[in-house]
Chains A and B, each alone.
Chain A
């Protein structure tokens, strides 16, 4: 490369860096107030917007889809798996309870079915009520999820007597309080990440709780 070429390349590089710096300086602190990461971890995307999330971790992993029916109401579908042995397909709604520049509070109610295949089979209807609090700050979104889950597990008892066979049903209740603390990050308006710590206490209070972690990838659009 001769001297003229080197000078031209250097000038272009400096101009590019300066241009990027000026663009960054001119960019507001929150370049895109609503983005996929915020909708994913804070819940309740706006009307017409959607977000798809895949969160993998131990012991819980999630697939979730949310679509905004109105500016406050969201339809969502979720599949949760615990180490490939326990699955919860769920369908529900989310309601944006509060929204401000740096706060989003969402309430969600989901209902579905629990399938667990392990040493102990667990199957039955399942419901969850949870709240999501997100505090967006630029590209970062710290968030907290608090929820209460309830599964109803039917048992069948058959007694063979000399006079005939009697069959009766009974239902056990499985309570799972839930908490997630995490941090979302917007790579772009459409793509985001999150890292979270889960604390799900399955079968509380008769069991022990296993804390876990997850890493999520979120994709959203149509806003």
Chain B
């Protein structure tokens, strides 16, 4: 490579490196799951799913578990197949939280309404482009922070 080309390449790298503001790395995951309720429990209603990083990057006190990056709603309990984009720069590990919208109001356990079950699972095998999970909604009116070990 001639000196002129080397200088040009160096200048190009310098300019490109000097103009990136936000660099976002996303990791595509196709995730197959099974959402269920305990035997005999009511199962009618849509299921709201939240996909979290298991541990959010940070230093010292800024490091904390969980950080939602995608929300989906599926028709009901049963098999689930979703494609999500995982933010590699924001954390590590994958957690799925879900709750059953038994009364159809879109709110998890609104005051004066019926109790709606929820559940959480840490997905094994991350990182991989194809993952699977099994989630049972058995705990009424509890958010992901209380369910995370």
Q: Which residues of A contact B (CB under 8 A)?
A: 113, 115, 121-125, 153-162, 172
B residues in contact with A158, CB < 8 Å: 23-26
> Is B58 part of the binding interface, using a Cβ–Cβ cutoff of 8 Å?
no
9 residue pairs bridging A and B, Cβ less than 8 Å apart: A122-B21, A123-B19, A155-B21, A156-B23, A157-B24, A158-B23, A158-B25, A162-B130, A172-B21
Q: Is the CB of A159 within 8 A of B20?
A: no
Q: Which 4 pairs, one residue from A and one from B, show the smallest C-beta to C-beta distance?
A: A162-B129, A155-B22, A153-B21, A161-B28
Distance in angstroms between the alpha carbons of A155 and B25 in the assembled complex: 11
Distance in angstroms between the alpha carbons of A156 and B20 in the assembled complex: 6
Which chain B residue has the least Cβ–Cβ distance from A152?
B19
> Is B18 part of the binding interface, using a Cβ–Cβ cutoff of 8 Å?
yes
Which chain A residue has the least Cβ–Cβ distance from B85?
A159
A residues in contact with B126, CB < 8 Å: none
Which chain A residue has the least Cβ–Cβ distance from B28?
A161
B residues in contact with A125, CB < 8 Å: 19
Write out, one digit per residue, whether chain B residues 121-137 have a CB within 8 A of any chain A CB (1) or not (0): 00000000110000000
Distance in angstroms between the alpha carbons of A158 and B23 in the assembled complex: 8
Interface size on B, residues (CB 8 A): 16
> Is B148 part of the binding interface, using a Cβ–Cβ cutoff of 8 Å?
no
A residues in contact with B23, CB < 8 Å: 155-156, 158
Q: Is the CB of A123 within 8 A of B129?
A: no
> Is B27 part of the binding interface, using a Cβ–Cβ cutoff of 8 Å?
yes
Contacts A161-B129, A162-B129; A155 near B20 (Cβ below 8 A): yes
Which chain B residue has the least Cβ–Cβ distance from A169?
B20
Q: Is the CB of A156 within 8 A of B22?
A: yes
Given contacts A158-B24, A160-B26, list 4 more A-B pairs with CB under 8 A: A154-B19, A157-B24, A157-B26, A158-B25
B residues in contact with A172, CB < 8 Å: 21
Smallest beta-carbon distance B126→chain A, Å: 13
Q: Is the CB of B19 within 8 A of A160?
A: no
Q: Is the CB of B25 within 8 A of A160?
A: yes
Q: Is the CB of A123 within 8 A of B20?
A: yes
Q: Is the CB of A156 within 8 A of B130?
A: no
Q: Is the CB of A155 within 8 A of B18?
A: no
Beta-carbon contacts under 8 Å, B15-62 to A: 18-28, 30
Distance in angstroms between the alpha carbons of A60 and B130 in the assembled complex: 51
Q: Is the CB of A159 within 8 A of B130?
A: no
Distance in angstroms between the alpha carbons of A161 and B29 in the assembled complex: 8
Q: Is the CB of B28 within 8 A of A155?
A: no
Which chain B residue has the least Cβ–Cβ distance from A124?
B19
Which chain B residue has the least Cβ–Cβ distance from A115?
B18
Smallest beta-carbon distance A58→chain B, Å: 25
Smallest beta-carbon distance A162→chain B, Å: 4
B residues in contact with A157, CB < 8 Å: 24, 26
Smallest beta-carbon distance B141→chain A, Å: 36
Q: Is the CB of A159 within 8 A of B26?
A: yes
Distance in angstroms between the alpha carbons of A153 and B20 in the assembled complex: 7
Smallest beta-carbon distance B105→chain A, Å: 33
Distance in angstroms between the alpha carbons of A76 and B149 in the assembled complex: 62
Q: Is the CB of B27 within 8 A of A160?
A: yes
Q: Is the CB of B21 within 8 A of A160?
A: no
Write out, one digit per residue, whether chain B residues 3-23 have a CB within 8 A of any chain A CB (1) or not (0): 000000000000000111111
Which chain B residue has the least Cβ–Cβ distance from A172?
B21
